Structure 1
Amino acid sequence: MANEIIIAYETKYNATREIAQKIGEVLAEGGLGADVFSIDQISDLGLYKAVILGSAVFTGNWCEEAAKFLETNEKVLSEKMVWLFSSGPLGEGSVEEDSKGWRFPQKLQPIADRIAPRDIAVFHGKIDKDKLSLLHKFMTKVAKVPAGDFRRWDEINAWAKGIGETLKKEGIG
Protein backbone atom coordinates (compact mmCIF):
# COMPACT_ATOMS: atom_id res chain seq x y z
CA MET A 1 0.00 0.00 0.00
CA ALA A 2 1.27 3.48 -0.84
CA ASN A 3 2.00 5.95 1.92
CA GLU A 4 -0.93 8.11 2.98
CA ILE A 5 1.26 10.82 4.51
CA ILE A 6 3.52 13.31 2.76
CA ILE A 7 6.05 15.63 4.30
CA ALA A 8 6.69 18.46 1.85
CA TYR A 9 9.32 21.11 2.40
CA GLU A 10 11.17 24.02 0.84
CA THR A 11 14.69 24.79 1.97
CA LYS A 12 17.52 27.06 0.95
CA TYR A 13 20.45 25.58 2.85
CA ASN A 14 19.10 22.10 3.78
CA ALA A 15 18.22 22.72 7.45
CA THR A 16 14.48 22.47 6.73
CA ARG A 17 15.04 19.33 4.65
CA GLU A 18 16.78 17.77 7.65
CA ILE A 19 13.81 18.66 9.86
CA ALA A 20 11.39 17.13 7.34
CA GLN A 21 13.49 13.97 7.20
CA LYS A 22 13.54 13.77 11.01
CA ILE A 23 9.74 14.08 11.11
CA GLY A 24 9.55 11.22 8.61
CA GLU A 25 11.92 9.11 10.74
CA VAL A 26 9.87 9.72 13.89
CA LEU A 27 6.66 8.75 12.09
CA ALA A 28 8.37 5.60 10.76
CA GLU A 29 9.52 4.68 14.28
CA GLY A 30 5.85 4.88 15.25
CA GLY A 31 4.87 2.51 12.45
CA LEU A 32 3.69 5.16 9.97
CA GLY A 33 5.04 5.44 6.46
CA ALA A 34 5.51 8.89 4.97
CA ASP A 35 6.93 10.21 1.74
CA VAL A 36 9.38 13.10 2.21
CA PHE A 37 9.73 15.35 -0.82
CA SER A 38 10.93 18.78 -1.74
CA ILE A 39 8.00 20.85 -2.99
CA ASP A 40 9.37 20.84 -6.54
CA GLN A 41 9.17 17.01 -6.59
CA ILE A 42 5.44 16.84 -5.82
CA SER A 43 2.98 16.31 -8.64
CA ASP A 44 -0.22 15.13 -6.92
CA LEU A 45 -1.21 15.84 -3.33
CA GLY A 46 -4.47 14.02 -4.00
CA LEU A 47 -2.68 10.73 -3.34
CA TYR A 48 -2.31 11.57 0.35
CA LYS A 49 -4.66 11.86 3.32
CA ALA A 50 -2.29 13.90 5.49
CA VAL A 51 0.17 16.65 4.59
CA ILE A 52 2.96 18.09 6.71
CA LEU A 53 4.28 21.20 4.97
CA GLY A 54 7.28 23.23 6.02
CA SER A 55 9.48 26.04 4.84
CA ALA A 56 12.60 27.88 5.80
CA VAL A 57 11.93 31.44 6.92
CA PHE A 58 13.82 34.55 5.84
CA THR A 59 12.87 38.00 7.10
CA GLY A 60 9.55 36.70 8.37
CA ASN A 61 8.52 35.06 5.11
CA TRP A 62 8.37 31.51 3.82
CA CYS A 63 10.49 30.69 0.78
CA GLU A 64 8.75 31.91 -2.36
CA GLU A 65 8.28 28.37 -3.69
CA ALA A 66 6.59 27.25 -0.45
CA ALA A 67 4.30 30.28 -0.42
CA LYS A 68 3.27 29.57 -4.03
CA PHE A 69 2.73 25.89 -3.21
CA LEU A 70 0.45 26.79 -0.30
CA GLU A 71 -1.53 29.23 -2.48
CA THR A 72 -1.77 26.90 -5.49
CA ASN A 73 -2.82 23.89 -3.41
CA GLU A 74 -5.16 25.67 -1.00
CA LYS A 75 -8.26 23.79 -2.14
CA VAL A 76 -6.78 20.30 -1.93
CA LEU A 77 -5.05 21.11 1.37
CA SER A 78 -8.33 22.29 2.86
CA GLU A 79 -9.68 18.75 2.29
CA LYS A 80 -6.81 17.02 4.10
CA MET A 81 -5.32 16.75 7.55
CA VAL A 82 -2.57 19.38 7.48
CA TRP A 83 0.25 20.47 9.75
CA LEU A 84 2.49 23.43 8.94
CA PHE A 85 5.97 24.20 10.22
CA SER A 86 8.56 26.89 9.79
CA SER A 87 12.29 26.69 10.38
CA GLY A 88 14.12 29.87 11.06
CA PRO A 89 14.51 31.58 14.42
CA LEU A 90 18.14 31.62 15.49
CA GLY A 91 19.41 31.90 19.03
CA GLU A 92 19.49 30.26 22.42
CA GLY A 93 16.18 31.66 23.73
CA SER A 94 12.70 30.29 23.32
CA VAL A 95 11.16 30.30 19.85
CA GLU A 96 8.83 33.08 21.01
CA GLU A 97 11.78 35.21 22.17
CA ASP A 98 14.01 34.53 19.18
CA SER A 99 11.21 35.05 16.66
CA LYS A 100 9.85 38.09 18.53
CA GLY A 101 6.42 36.46 18.67
CA TRP A 102 6.30 35.60 14.94
CA ARG A 103 4.15 32.51 14.25
CA PHE A 104 3.44 32.44 10.51
CA PRO A 105 3.89 34.74 7.49
CA GLN A 106 1.24 37.44 7.74
CA LYS A 107 0.47 37.43 4.01
CA LEU A 108 -0.15 33.64 4.11
CA GLN A 109 -2.21 33.64 7.30
CA PRO A 110 -5.59 33.98 5.49
CA ILE A 111 -4.76 30.88 3.42
CA ALA A 112 -3.71 28.98 6.52
CA ASP A 113 -6.95 30.02 8.22
CA ARG A 114 -8.97 28.59 5.33
CA ILE A 115 -6.94 25.37 5.28
CA ALA A 116 -7.38 25.04 9.06
CA PRO A 117 -4.20 23.11 9.89
CA ARG A 118 -4.16 20.88 12.95
CA ASP A 119 -1.12 22.83 14.16
CA ILE A 120 1.41 25.42 13.07
CA ALA A 121 4.87 24.95 14.58
CA VAL A 122 7.93 27.17 14.53
CA PHE A 123 11.30 25.50 15.06
CA HIS A 124 14.69 27.04 15.60
CA GLY A 125 16.87 26.91 12.52
CA LYS A 126 20.45 26.48 11.48
CA ILE A 127 22.76 28.86 9.71
CA ASP A 128 26.22 28.16 8.34
CA LYS A 129 27.51 31.52 7.14
CA ASP A 130 30.08 29.81 4.89
CA LYS A 131 27.24 28.33 2.81
CA LEU A 132 25.16 31.50 2.43
CA SER A 133 24.74 33.46 -0.77
CA LEU A 134 26.40 36.88 -0.82
CA LEU A 135 23.04 38.56 -0.27
CA HIS A 136 22.22 36.35 2.72
CA LYS A 137 25.72 36.88 4.15
CA PHE A 138 25.19 40.63 3.93
CA MET A 139 21.69 40.42 5.44
CA THR A 140 22.85 38.26 8.36
CA LYS A 141 25.79 40.58 9.03
CA VAL A 142 23.62 43.71 9.05
CA ALA A 143 21.00 42.03 11.25
CA LYS A 144 23.71 40.55 13.52
CA VAL A 145 22.24 37.06 13.10
CA PRO A 146 24.10 34.41 15.11
CA ALA A 147 25.63 31.46 13.27
CA GLY A 148 25.14 27.89 14.39
CA ASP A 149 22.68 25.04 14.62
CA PHE A 150 19.90 26.09 16.99
CA ARG A 151 17.45 23.31 16.12
CA ARG A 152 16.03 21.55 19.14
CA TRP A 153 15.55 18.00 18.04
CA ASP A 154 13.64 17.04 21.18
CA GLU A 155 10.95 19.62 20.30
CA ILE A 156 10.81 18.43 16.69
CA ASN A 157 10.60 14.79 17.82
CA ALA A 158 7.80 15.56 20.28
CA TRP A 159 5.82 17.45 17.62
CA ALA A 160 6.22 14.59 15.14
CA LYS A 161 5.19 12.01 17.76
CA GLY A 162 2.05 14.04 18.46
CA ILE A 163 1.22 14.04 14.76
CA GLY A 164 1.75 10.28 14.65
CA GLU A 165 -0.63 9.74 17.56
CA THR A 166 -3.29 11.88 15.89
CA LEU A 167 -2.90 10.07 12.56
CA LYS A 168 -3.25 6.68 14.22
CA LYS A 169 -6.41 7.80 16.03
CA GLU A 170 -7.79 8.91 12.65
CA GLY A 171 -6.90 5.55 11.09
CA ILE A 172 -4.28 6.99 8.75
CA GLY A 173 -0.94 5.42 8.09
Structure 2
Amino acid sequence: MNVLIAYASKHGATQGIAERIGSTLTAEGFPVTVRPVEEVDDVTHYDAVVLGSAAYALHWMHAATAFAKRHHRDLAERPVWLFASGPLGEDTVDKEGRDVRESSEPREFDKFADELNVRGDHVFFGKWDPESEPVGLMEKIMEHLPGNPRGSLPAGDFRDWDEVEAWAHGIAEELRAG
Protein backbone atom coordinates (compact mmCIF):
# COMPACT_ATOMS: atom_id res chain seq x y z
CA MET A 1 0.00 0.00 0.00
CA ASN A 2 1.66 3.20 -1.28
CA VAL A 3 1.32 6.17 1.12
CA LEU A 4 1.78 9.85 0.28
CA ILE A 5 2.62 12.28 3.02
CA ALA A 6 2.08 15.79 1.67
CA TYR A 7 2.74 18.86 3.78
CA ALA A 8 2.87 22.66 3.83
CA SER A 9 5.54 24.09 6.13
CA LYS A 10 6.66 27.65 6.65
CA HIS A 11 9.67 27.26 8.98
CA GLY A 12 10.31 23.49 8.78
CA ALA A 13 8.52 22.18 11.90
CA THR A 14 5.67 20.64 9.90
CA GLN A 15 8.15 19.19 7.42
CA GLY A 16 9.93 17.49 10.32
CA ILE A 17 6.66 15.99 11.54
CA ALA A 18 5.82 14.77 8.02
CA GLU A 19 9.26 13.18 7.70
CA ARG A 20 8.89 11.42 11.08
CA ILE A 21 5.46 10.08 10.09
CA GLY A 22 7.05 8.89 6.86
CA SER A 23 9.97 7.14 8.55
CA THR A 24 7.61 5.48 11.04
CA LEU A 25 5.33 4.17 8.28
CA THR A 26 8.40 3.02 6.31
CA ALA A 27 9.61 1.10 9.37
CA GLU A 28 6.13 -0.46 9.49
CA GLY A 29 6.72 -1.80 5.96
CA PHE A 30 4.81 0.72 3.83
CA PRO A 31 6.28 2.38 0.73
CA VAL A 32 6.12 6.11 1.55
CA THR A 33 6.67 9.33 -0.38
CA VAL A 34 7.08 12.55 1.62
CA ARG A 35 6.69 15.77 -0.42
CA PRO A 36 5.69 19.42 -0.04
CA VAL A 37 2.17 19.89 -1.41
CA GLU A 38 3.53 22.17 -4.14
CA GLU A 39 5.53 19.23 -5.55
CA VAL A 40 2.59 16.82 -5.84
CA ASP A 41 0.66 16.91 -9.11
CA ASP A 42 -1.17 13.59 -8.87
CA VAL A 43 -2.38 11.52 -5.91
CA THR A 44 -3.85 8.63 -7.94
CA HIS A 45 -0.61 6.62 -7.61
CA TYR A 46 -1.13 6.41 -3.84
CA ASP A 47 -3.44 4.16 -1.87
CA ALA A 48 -3.57 6.48 1.18
CA VAL A 49 -2.68 10.10 1.91
CA VAL A 50 -1.53 11.89 5.05
CA LEU A 51 -1.93 15.64 4.58
CA GLY A 52 -0.54 18.20 7.00
CA SER A 53 0.11 21.87 7.39
CA ALA A 54 1.37 24.44 9.79
CA ALA A 55 -1.61 26.24 11.30
CA TYR A 56 -1.83 29.96 11.93
CA ALA A 57 -4.86 31.71 13.45
CA LEU A 58 -6.87 28.46 13.31
CA HIS A 59 -6.19 27.90 9.60
CA TRP A 60 -3.95 25.72 7.51
CA MET A 61 -1.54 27.37 5.12
CA HIS A 62 -3.12 28.26 1.79
CA ALA A 63 -0.98 25.74 -0.11
CA ALA A 64 -2.39 22.79 1.90
CA THR A 65 -5.98 23.98 1.54
CA ALA A 66 -5.49 24.50 -2.21
CA PHE A 67 -4.00 21.00 -2.48
CA ALA A 68 -7.03 19.44 -0.76
CA LYS A 69 -9.42 21.36 -3.01
CA ARG A 70 -7.44 20.59 -6.18
CA HIS A 71 -7.32 16.83 -5.43
CA HIS A 72 -10.74 16.67 -3.79
CA ARG A 73 -12.20 13.86 -5.95
CA ASP A 74 -9.14 11.63 -5.74
CA LEU A 75 -8.72 12.18 -1.99
CA ALA A 76 -12.36 11.22 -1.44
CA GLU A 77 -11.59 7.81 -2.98
CA ARG A 78 -8.80 6.81 -0.61
CA PRO A 79 -8.18 6.94 3.14
CA VAL A 80 -6.88 10.33 4.29
CA TRP A 81 -5.44 11.51 7.58
CA LEU A 82 -4.99 15.20 8.42
CA PHE A 83 -2.53 16.84 10.78
CA ALA A 84 -1.47 20.31 11.81
CA SER A 85 1.37 21.77 13.79
CA GLY A 86 1.11 25.01 15.58
CA PRO A 87 0.71 25.38 19.32
CA LEU A 88 3.87 26.52 21.03
CA GLY A 89 4.95 26.16 24.64
CA GLU A 90 4.65 23.44 27.22
CA ASP A 91 1.14 24.14 28.52
CA THR A 92 -1.28 21.49 27.34
CA VAL A 93 -4.31 23.29 28.81
CA ASP A 94 -5.28 26.92 28.03
CA LYS A 95 -6.59 29.56 30.47
CA GLU A 96 -10.17 28.29 30.02
CA GLY A 97 -9.12 24.72 30.89
CA ARG A 98 -9.38 23.42 27.32
CA ASP A 99 -6.86 21.12 25.68
CA VAL A 100 -4.54 23.38 23.67
CA ARG A 101 -4.54 20.94 20.76
CA GLU A 102 -8.33 21.01 20.55
CA SER A 103 -8.55 24.79 20.81
CA SER A 104 -5.83 25.10 18.12
CA GLU A 105 -7.53 22.75 15.66
CA PRO A 106 -7.62 24.35 12.21
CA ARG A 107 -11.06 24.91 10.74
CA GLU A 108 -10.03 22.89 7.71
CA PHE A 109 -10.32 19.68 9.77
CA ASP A 110 -14.11 20.05 10.00
CA LYS A 111 -14.42 21.31 6.44
CA PHE A 112 -12.51 18.42 4.91
CA ALA A 113 -13.97 15.78 7.24
CA ASP A 114 -17.23 16.20 5.34
CA GLU A 115 -15.65 16.35 1.87
CA LEU A 116 -12.83 13.78 1.96
CA ASN A 117 -12.41 10.22 3.22
CA VAL A 118 -10.81 11.43 6.49
CA ARG A 119 -10.00 8.61 8.89
CA GLY A 120 -8.42 10.78 11.57
CA ASP A 121 -6.79 14.08 12.40
CA HIS A 122 -4.31 15.37 14.94
CA VAL A 123 -2.77 18.63 16.10
CA PHE A 124 0.89 18.49 17.13
CA PHE A 125 2.86 21.09 19.02
CA GLY A 126 5.29 22.99 16.83
CA LYS A 127 8.69 24.63 16.95
CA TRP A 128 9.71 28.27 16.92
CA ASP A 129 13.13 29.87 16.48
CA PRO A 130 12.91 33.64 17.07
CA GLU A 131 16.15 34.07 15.11
CA SER A 132 14.57 32.67 11.95
CA GLU A 133 14.00 35.00 9.04
CA PRO A 134 10.42 36.22 8.72
CA VAL A 135 8.52 34.36 6.02
CA GLY A 136 5.61 36.01 4.29
CA LEU A 137 4.11 39.45 4.50
CA MET A 138 2.39 38.99 7.88
CA GLU A 139 5.59 37.95 9.67
CA LYS A 140 7.47 40.86 8.12
CA ILE A 141 4.77 43.28 9.29
CA MET A 142 4.68 41.74 12.78
CA GLU A 143 8.40 42.24 13.15
CA HIS A 144 7.90 46.02 12.89
CA LEU A 145 4.89 46.33 15.20
CA PRO A 146 5.37 47.76 18.70
CA GLY A 147 6.45 44.99 21.03
CA ASN A 148 7.28 42.73 18.06
CA PRO A 149 4.61 40.02 18.56
CA ARG A 150 6.74 37.65 16.51
CA GLY A 151 9.53 37.90 19.06
CA SER A 152 7.19 37.26 22.00
CA LEU A 153 6.24 33.72 20.91
CA PRO A 154 7.55 30.89 23.12
CA ALA A 155 10.87 29.79 21.64
CA GLY A 156 11.87 26.16 21.37
CA ASP A 157 11.04 22.82 19.84
CA PHE A 158 7.82 21.57 21.42
CA ARG A 159 7.20 18.66 19.06
CA ASP A 160 6.59 15.38 20.89
CA TRP A 161 8.20 12.72 18.72
CA ASP A 162 6.69 9.85 20.73
CA GLU A 163 3.24 11.33 20.06
CA VAL A 164 4.00 11.71 16.33
CA GLU A 165 5.23 8.13 16.08
CA ALA A 166 2.27 6.76 18.06
CA TRP A 167 -0.13 8.52 15.69
CA ALA A 168 1.75 7.11 12.68
CA HIS A 169 1.65 3.60 14.20
CA GLY A 170 -2.12 4.02 14.51
CA ILE A 171 -2.31 4.88 10.82
CA ALA A 172 -0.28 1.75 10.02
CA GLU A 173 -2.69 -0.40 12.06
CA GLU A 174 -5.69 1.05 10.21
CA LEU A 175 -4.03 0.51 6.83
CA ARG A 176 -3.34 -3.12 7.67
CA ALA A 177 -6.91 -3.62 8.89
CA GLY A 178 -8.18 -2.29 5.55
TM-score scaled by structure 1? 0.87
- Aligned residues with identical type, % of pairs: 37
Q: Corresponding residue for 1:104?
A: 106
Q: Distance in 1 between matches of 2:173 and 2:101?
A: 28
Cα RMSD, aligned residues only: 2.2
Q: Corresponding residue for 2:114?
A: 113
Q: List runs of 5+ in structure 1 lacking aligned partners.
A: none
Task: Give every structure 1 segment of 4 or more consecutive aligned residues whose post-TM-superposition deviation is greater than 6 Å.
Answer: none
Aligned pairs (5 A) from 1:24-173: 24-94=22-92, 97-99=99-101, 101-105=103-107, 109-133=110-134, 135-136=138-139, 138=142, 141-142=148-149, 144-170=152-178
**CA offsets, 1:95-136, max 9 Å, x none?**
754356232225x63333221411010000001111141742
Aligned residues: 167
Helix, strand or coil for the counterpart of 1:166? helix
Letter in 2 for 1:105: R
Q: Distance in 2 between matches of 1:98 and 1:24?
A: 25
Q: Distance in 2 between matches of 1:45 and 1:161?
A: 22
Q: Cα gap change, 1:104/1:59 in structure 2, threshold over 3 Å: closer, same or farther?
A: closer
Letter in 2 for 1:129: P
2:128 touches 2:155 (CA, 8 Å); kept in 1? yes
Deviation at 1:162, TM superposition (A): 0.5
Q: Distance in 2 between matches of 1:132 and 1:89?
A: 19
**CA offsets, 1:52-102, max 9 Å, x none?**
000011121111111111112111111110000001111102275435623
2:101 touches 2:124 (CA, 8 Å); kept in 1? no
Q: Distance in 2 between matches of 1:118 and 1:100?
A: 17
TM-score scaled by structure 2? 0.85
Deviation at 1:46, TM superposition (A): 0.7
Q: Cα gap change, 1:78/1:100 in structure 2, threshold over 3 Å: closer, same or farther?
A: closer
**CA offsets, 1:1-54, max 9 Å, x none?**
xx6110000101111111101001101111111110111111110111100000
Q: Distance in 2 between matches of 1:87 and 1:15?
A: 7
